[in-house]
Amino acid sequence: MRSGLQENSVAQRSFVDLDHWMERYQQADPAAPATLIAALSPALLCFFRSQQANREHADDLLQDTWLRIHRVRHTYRPGEPVLPWVYAIARRAGVDGYRKTRRIAAHEIAVEALPARFAQSEPPNGLPAFEDLVAALPEAQQEVITMLKVGGLSLEEVARATSSTVGAVKQKAHRAYERLRKLLHTYAEDNVAGGAP
């Protein structure tokens, strides 16, 4: 069982022994919360910012997530992986935030208008930014892809965080890649036709 943050996770580059610090947190070690907050917050913020509906409220959701984590810290079991526990709580905070802001209609419009958005935020290599790509996916697929790439979670950990099975997560990722492949292809064709780089 992996106990720290992988190198491929987006916002963290260093390895932090999360299990160890969670146990210290439960024992009220004053150094533990700061260590965990510093290690996990960038990826959590990235996670919320990657969600189209929660992008603007990502900072509030990060704070809300830590509030929830603090309240239910007794439910973390020493020895269990920390990331799925944290992301399961963050996911709930995200859903509540989403419902609160009721941005479903705006989300649907944004998905329809994707090619324009791609062009706006296109990095120098000619591909759309990851955030814009993910925004084109249905919510459940967005969540899986974001956890895999932004949070650095494994398939097993994503399954745990989403109260799902590994098979169901694989299927969602598979569908997400199929959809992204089509979108990217259309985008590339449009760019060739329009003379874009």
Partner 1 sequence: MNCRDMNHALIGRSMASPLPSEAEDHLRTCARCRLLAGALRLPVAEARPSPASLRRIETGIAAGLRPVHPMGSKNCLLAAFVATFIATVALSVYRMGAFAIAVMTPLQTSLTLGSLAVGTGLLAYSLVNQMVPGSRHRISPRLLPLGAAISLVIVIAVLFHFQHERNFWAKSWACIRAGMPIGALAAVPLWFVLRRGTILWPTMTGAATGLLAGLAGATALEIHCPNLEACHILVGHLGVAALGAVTGLLIGVAAERGLPGRRLNDSDY
Residues in region 157-176 near partner 1 by CB under 8 A = 157, 159-161, 163-165, 168, 170, 173-174
Q: Does 196 bind partner 1 (CB under 8 A)?
A: no
What would the two tokens of residue 94 be? 């995200």
Q: Are the CB atoms for 180 and 129 separated by under 8 Å?
A: no
How far apart (Å, rounded) are the C-alpha atoms in residues 19 and 81? 7
Q: Does 86 bind partner 1 (CB under 8 A)?
A: yes
- List the one residue from 3, 17, 20, 45 that touches partner 1 (CB under 8 A): 45
Listed as own residue / partner, the contacts of 32-35 with beta carbons closer than 8 Å and 24 or more positions apart are 33/70
Q: Does 190 bind partner 1 (CB under 8 A)?
A: no
- List the one residue from 110, 133, 135, 137 that touches partner 1 (CB under 8 A): 133
CA 170 remoteness from chain centre:
16
- List the one residue from 4, 18, 53, 97 that touches partner 1 (CB under 8 A): 97
Crossing angle between the packed helical segments 58-71 and 31-49, to the nearest 10 degrees: 140
When the beta carbons of 110 and 146 are compared against partner 1, the nearer one is 146
CB of 97 to partner 1, least distance (A): 6
CA dihedral 26, 27, 29, 32 (to 10 degrees): -20
CB of 181 to partner 1, least distance (A): 5
Q: Are the CB atoms for 162 and 88 separated by under 8 Å?
A: yes
CB of 108 to partner 1, least distance (A): 21
When the beta carbons of 49 and 117 are compared against partner 1, the nearer one is 49
CB of 65 to partner 1, least distance (A): 9
How far apart (Å, rounded) are the C-alpha atoms in residues 98 and 24? 32
CB of 195 to partner 1, least distance (A): 18
